[in-house]
Structure 1
Amino acid sequence: MAFIRFVMFGGGVGVLAGFAVTLLAVAMPWAVANAVVTVASTLLCTELHARFTFRKGRGAGWREHWQSAGSASAAYLVTSGAIGVLHLLRPSAGPAVEQMVYLGASGLAGAGRFLVLRLYVFATRSTRPLRRQGTSPVPVLLAA
């Protein structure tokens, strides 16, 4: 159920973010528009995920916001990279094609973000990855 809620909240905000990036990109470089929208949507999504997706019973704290920002940074790189490749391969691509590429890259990055949020940021004892006794936790980087 958490994944379904994640898709509803994160996907809904992601679709709105796609339109916002397109609108802002008229007035500024695409990468800057994507950065502005990524920051705003990450703040909103982190709150929604804390309250509803992972049902913490409260809003997100500073720790969750910072950790979520780390996974959002990776998502920013994925979406910006995808649009950069699109512009290299097809410089005259219109907004509809940009939207498809942006939303596709966002969906892939979102799957990685779900795992990071579920297993680390909003983890409970029952959802944390198991580790052998006597070993220290090793950070895991998920490539999106």
Structure 2
Amino acid sequence: METTQSQQQAAPGAFIAFARFVLCGGGVGIASSFAVAALSSSIPWVLANAVITAVSTLLATELHARFTFGAGGRATWRQHAQSAGSAAAAYAVTCLAMFVLQQLVAAPGAVVEQVVYLSASALAGVARFAVLRLVVFARNRSQAVAPARSAPPVHSTVAPASAPADPSALCYAA
């Protein structure tokens, strides 16, 4: 019972979960940007970005499982795969936004590029949060909220009305 209560407390509401999502995801994102810059001095940038993206997605999924969504432990391989899929979709959204910008504006300034990129990232981030909360980590959250049973139900038996009051009389009944 104590474990169920602690899991219930660990499953945060939507607002708290979103704040944690931004904190964890943003922290990992900032660390990743520095890691890509450092690693790209040794290997090509495209490879460095791919490696850091894979590692940061694994790290963020673990943080989201343990902290953001209160799943109560490590993320499963299935959750990692689903999270990677949502991260890939978010990446595609930001790439598409930048591609559309390049098609619409011949030479966009750095500020316009940042506004478009950050807007697409924010939109993709909100969608990713919804997918992680409602799909990837939903099973764990619903299990944590389910009421606990301390023991299986006890079925009582009722003696027939014709049974003698004294159990020893059963042996001598004719």
TM-score range, shorter chain: 0.5 to 0.7
**Aligned residues, how many?**
123
Unaligned runs of 5+ residues in structure 1 are: 128-144
> Partner of 2:17 in structure 1?
2
> Partner of 2:99 in structure 1?
84
SS at match of 1:125: helix
> Partner of 1:72 in structure 2?
87
Normalised by the length of structure 1, the TM-score is 0.66
Distance 2:82 2:73 in 1: 17
- Return the structure number with greater relative CO, CA threshold 8 A, min gap 6: 2
> Partner of 1:135 in structure 2?
none
Question: Given residue 107 of structure 2, which amino acid in structure 1 is its aligned partner?
Answer: S
Does the C-alpha gap of structure 1 residues 59 and 38 become closer, same or farther in structure 2, counting only changes over 3 Å?
same
Does the C-alpha gap of structure 1 residues 104 and 16 become closer, same or farther in structure 2, counting only changes over 3 Å?
farther
Unaligned runs of 5+ residues in structure 2 are: 1-15, 145-174
Question: Given residue 81 of structure 1, which amino acid in structure 2 is its aligned partner?
Answer: L
1:61 to partner: Cα distance:
1.7
Does the C-alpha gap of structure 1 residues 103 and 119 become closer, same or farther in structure 2, counting only changes over 3 Å?
same
Does the C-alpha gap of structure 1 residues 105 and 35 become closer, same or farther in structure 2, counting only changes over 3 Å?
farther
Normalised by the length of structure 2, the TM-score is 0.56
Does the C-alpha gap of structure 1 residues 107 and 76 become closer, same or farther in structure 2, counting only changes over 3 Å?
same
1:79 to partner: Cα distance:
0.4
CA deviation digits over 1:69-112, x for unaligned, max 9?
Answer: 11112111100001111222234335444333222111101111
Question: Who wins on radius of gyration, i.e. which is larger?
Answer: 2
Matches within 5 A, 1:1-144: 1-15=16-30, 38-123=53-138, 124-125=141-142
Percent identity reads 59
SS at match of 1:48: helix
